[in-house]
Amino acid sequence: MKLSITLRNTTYSFTSTKDLFAKANEEKSGDRLAGLAAANYQERIAAKYLLSEWTLADIREHPVLPAEHDEVSAVIEQGIDPVAYEQWAGKTIAELREWLIHPETTGRDILQASRGFTSEIIAAVTKIMSNLDLIHVANKIEVITTCRTSIGHRGTLSSRLQPNHPSDDVQGILASIYEGLSFGSGDAVVGINPVTDTPLKTKQLLQKTHEVIQKWNIPTQNCVLAHITTQMKAIEAGAPADLLFQSLAGTQTGNESFGISTALMDEAYAMAQATSDGKIGPHRMYFETGQGSELSAAAHHGVDQLTLESRCYGYAKRWTPFLVNSVVGFIGPEYLYDHKQVLRAGLEDHFMGKLHGLPMGVDVCYTNHMVADQNDMENLGLLLTAAGVQFLIAVPMGDDCMLNYQSLSYHDIAALRQTMGKQPAPEFVGWLEAMGLMRDGKMTDRAGDWRIFLSEGGALR
């Protein structure tokens, strides 16, 4: 395993797997903040070149965090298919990239082979791929998951309807839900970030979203994104939760900062499986991630943020989730400075999730102190749709007034579907047609008219 390379009479040396991986990254403000980034373009190119010559065995045998020291590493190692790995162990990262982008390599081929890839192998090939490479390969991969409904079918674009409210006001949440539904959003999940993280509030919001879904026979799932332990207590108290949610990190200490462990997540997964009502599929978990979260918790251990993000996905696989998404620009400019870095990270995260065989979505978003605007987010939304993203997140008018960040809007989802020839999940299409909101694959003039959900007295039902 080489740690130095000479290009144009200049020798570039790297101290470890961590060092080489970090310096092979595209520019990220988080890596710069952590003191891990390449000093200049020449060093970055040298790192990419050298990394492309490493074999998959080189990477697996020299991990950034050994399994005996980190339970995320241990979970990833436990999930590797030894037969699939042996078929690729002697190949280089450059050879892996060439195979992935080859026109005769199918999504099914990729998912079969990737069972033998560690998360760090997937991170390595991501580092040497162009944006178009990431889009082209991710678009080959189809991942279908089932909770109350199924999403991920080729030719579809699903969405999470995010009706957050700054005081958890039920009427305000209902107004956002009905507006989103009227634009065709919500086939992936109706998912609320609560202000108040208590079992009582979580149960109340789960009950209300469950009532809406039952009343209107909506083919979707509900979720309240409280801490996993809060959701578990709410379920014990009788709350009707379709999905259990938790944010994940790519290191054990990062997860400890979130208040979770592998044992706790195993317990939550078992609870979800035990609470099926016979009408719900096998995929009951929902995870969110995002480049930079480990550094923000001082839990990155000198590892770059792309590699840690890939490790999140290897960790998430253990619990066969229904949904996974990167909240790509949510953490702020300290980690992704501007629109160029957010766009690259969004494509990287989606590609890495898909290569792990996950049902991958993205919250296309930014904070108001980043060098980005809504046009940049629409650009990324378009690129991700072209890449076959499983779902995107939508909030009223693209402005989350509770979490105080910008995302895509309900009408952005409708526009992306029409522009890119995508449809909602099949069962949701049938429901939209029955409600008069869609006809012949297009939204009707009733789209956006939330008044169809009003009672005769003019109140939201």
Residue by residue, DSSP assigns 285-316 as: EEEEE-TTHHHHTT--TT--HHHHHHHHHHHH
Mean pLDDT score, 85-112 = 98
**Local confidence band at 459 (pLDDT 50, 70, 90 cut-offs):** low
- CA-to-CA distance for 237 and 234, rounded, in angstroms? 5
Residues whose CB falls within 8 Å of the CB of residue 292, separated by 6 or more in sequence, listed in order: 30, 305, 331, 334, 335, 336
- CA-to-CA distance for 428 and 185, rounded, in angstroms? 9
Instruction: Name the average pLDDT for the chain.
Output: 97
- CA-to-CA distance for 394 and 44, rounded, in angstroms? 36
Mean pLDDT score, 57-85 = 98
**Local confidence band at 277 (pLDDT 50, 70, 90 cut-offs):** confident
What was the pLDDT predicted at 460?
A: 61
> What is the per-residue pLDDT across 378-388, written as a single tens digit (0 to 9) for each?
999 999 999 99
pTM summary value: 0.97
**Crossing angle for the helix pair 41-53 and 119-127, to the nearest 10 degrees:** 130
**Local confidence band at 456 (pLDDT 50, 70, 90 cut-offs):** low
Mean pLDDT score, 404-418 = 97
- CA-to-CA distance for 288 and 358, rounded, in angstroms? 12
Residue-range domains of the chain with CATH = 145-452 (3.20.20.70)
